[in-house]
A and B are shown apart, each in its own frame.
Chain A
Amino acid sequence: MTTLSACPACAAAPLAESVVQREIATADVILSLPTIHCAACIGTVERSLRTMPGVEDARVNLSLKRVSVRTRTLTDAALVARLQAAGYEAHPMDSAVLDNGKDPEGQRLLVKLAVAGFAMMNVMLFSVAIWSGAADSTRDLFHMISAAISLPAVLFCGQPFFASAWSALRVRRLNMDVPISLAILLAAGMSFYEVLNGGLHSYFDAALSLTFFLLVGRYLDHRSRRTARSAARDLAALEVHSAHKLVQGSTQTVPVSDLRVGDVVMIPTGVRVPVDGTLISLEATTDRAFLTGETAAIRSVMGNPVQAGEINLGAPFKVQATAVGADTTLRRVAAMVEMAENSRNSYTALADRAAAIYAPAVHLLALLAFLGWAVLGGDLRQALNVAVAVLIITCPCALGLAVPAVSTAAIARLYAKGFLVKSGTALERLAEVDMALFDKTGTLTVPASKAVRDLLTPAQQAVARALAQSSTHPVSRAVLAALPAGEAATLSNVIEVPGRGVQGLGPDGLAQLGDGGWLGADFDGPGLRIGCAPAIALPLSEHLRDGAQAAIDGLRDMGLRPGIISGDRAAVVTPLADALGVTDHQAGVTATAKHDQLQALADGGHRVMMVGDGLNDAAALAAAHASVAPSSALDAARNAADIVILNDSLADLPLLIKVARATTRLSKQNFAIAALYNCIAVPVALAGLATPLLAAIAMSVSSLTVLANAMRIRRVR
């Protein structure tokens, strides 16, 4: 096809493909850009990167919200700083974890879809001529041309169905693809036989349009799954998998997987501990919120144990590893998650349940039609013709589209709202929940560091860092811990005003970090003021997450019972629960107890939705009927959850449930439409009255009805 093609595009295609592959192979740095959303963003990002010395090329992918930068000299940090200066949040991604952005499976389906569409349209034209009365040699000629186009096209385009049907038959089971494959192959084979014997009817157009419509469903299904999968992988790639190992007094950056028991690891401020170990610095302050749900910082002294997953809030410290990789506490939880997930895998999707009833019924019906006509009519050829007509008429064109069309529309709708649906059956399970349990720390509340990061621009953060570094006051230390790691600004004349705060001179004038009253503002507690700008209050305790109240109220209005289940102290949980109006709350619950409670609720007949982010929630997330995690969650929790919330607000949780319920409702309606159409068409086919024209009309009308019905998901408010 490459050398002797009459079509220039065919010759150009492999060339273009090799060009694309080369470009991807040399893209060195991939950055995630969570905030880009329009043409202006693409323009600004690409311009600001391309004008940077050392950057050879930069290309934004808006669908995946990332940019790949080709450079030989620049580091991730320099590029991130450049983009932050341009006003865009950027995070380096681990390109080893990412896929290369190509989708060979999707491309194969798209090619088959195109070939099926092309063949269908051509054959349909010949069929229209035959239906309008082409006779004798013209009809035979048209039949022969149709056969020449259809047979190779059906064999090529039907492969996904044949493969799936074969793998089901090999283990002696029936799935939806068995009647599909049978109908396609029988229709094409039967028609070919008829054409060779000068018959009147051929079902080539039916075989092809069946393939075409079903491929549309298959492609939609594949696309929504892939979007979810690749976005989930994006989240994993954002985790930094390197550690600072101390070797003979100097630090080396090594992958976490290369650490061994006994290695000494340096933990900089704000970084997660990668191993279980013993503290060998004098003292350390860490945040265990992810592990236990406690919000208070933990102080450890030399010789105390430190667990993987803790975050360093204070000065850098050293840890000697006692357990690495799969032996760490962090990873042991993963085993628990896996066990809980196995029980959930027994859930059968709506489409599979429908197929289990449908597939045997269709086969039986076609067989009965064949036997009935063979015995009563005595004409085997006529009997086979009727059986094929029954198979085609009942064939699940609409059934094959019923669920994928609805779930694709629903997943796209939810993605636009910031929900990432990771599991295929998540929406169906979510539609059934009657209780919603929330974790507190990190889910209903956001830690101070997140709040500070959102409040200050990178330039302001640098100034705050410089001021906080120069003081040993506990409040300064807390501010420093809340700031993300980065460069400090250069300030002169930095002095500490006892009992008030720190001040220094920067490019924008006097910069002050300290008590609100001292800064001339009306808030208590620490704040930052630069030049004549008004002071900015810096929250150093956790904050209620955006939309938490709206989510709880909305869920209650929909008939879901909200509850809080937290590992934190009752003194913190109770006031929060009262403020949110949640009566059902528990404090001091360990990870195992959370899991056991969810199991108990499930045994008691409840279908629980769990919303959580920490390692202590991971097992509970997996044990819940459906689960949701915010994007800030630990990757163990994100992996266990069905749905990840990509933006920072919980306000759309009720919409999520509404869309999930609508998805199930519309899918069932679609099944009903398909069944209704079968009720009318099957008797006609059984009576031997079905013609190819009737089959073509019925098939197209039912498929379009189902697609139009699926689009109604956009109107769910």
Chain B
Amino acid sequence: MNVLLVLIPVSIVLGGLGLCAFLWTVRSGQYDDAAGTSARILLDDDGPDEG
């Protein structure tokens, strides 16, 4: 069962990474315009002005 001592911290750190990534998306306002974000994927022009 000693493998648990490695696996548990690893799984918690991995989960924590996912949590941090989610917190980043929240803070950078990626949920502010849900309708727009889902529509923008259909936009074709990859011009330099497209953000």
Contact = CB atoms under 8 A, between A and B. Distances in A.
- Secondary structure type dominating chain A contacts: helix
B36 A9 contact: no
A7 B32 contact: no
Contacts of B24: 9-10, 12-13, 16
Interface residues of A, number: 40
A16 B45 contact: no
Interface in B7-23: 8, 11-13, 15-23
Contacts of A110: 26, 31
Nearest to B17: A7
A20 B35 contact: no
A43 B12 contact: no
B18 to A, nearest CB: 7
A63 B23 contact: no
A13 B23 contact: yes
A138 B33 CA distance: 46
B32 A102 contact: yes
Nearest to A108: B26
A61 B39 contact: no
Nearest to A7: B20
B33 A62 contact: yes
Contacts of A57: 49
Given A39-B42, A39-B43, A17 B28 contact: yes
A103 B32 CA distance: 8
B15 to A, nearest CB: 6
A489 interface: no
Nearest to B8: A145
Interface string A46-70: 0100100000010111111000000
A694 interface: no
A42 B39 contact: yes
A411 to B, nearest CB: 15
B26 A61 contact: no
A125 to B, nearest CB: 8
Interface of B: 1, 4, 8, 11-13, 15-24, 26-29, 31-36, 39-45, 49, 51
12 contacts: A7-B16, A9-B21, A9-B23, A13-B20, A13-B24, A16-B28, A20-B29, A39-B43, A42-B39, A47-B45, A61-B33, A111-B23
Given A13-B24, A16-B28, A145-B8, 7 more contacts: A13-B23, A39-B39, A42-B39, A43-B43, A101-B32, A114-B19, A114-B23
Interface of A: 6-7, 9-10, 12-14, 16-17, 19-20, 38-39, 42-43, 47, 50, 57, 59-64, 101-103, 107, 110-111, 114-115, 118, 121-122, 125, 138, 141, 145, 149
**6 A-B pairs with least C-beta separation:** A62-B36, A16-B28, A39-B42, A39-B39, A9-B20, A7-B20
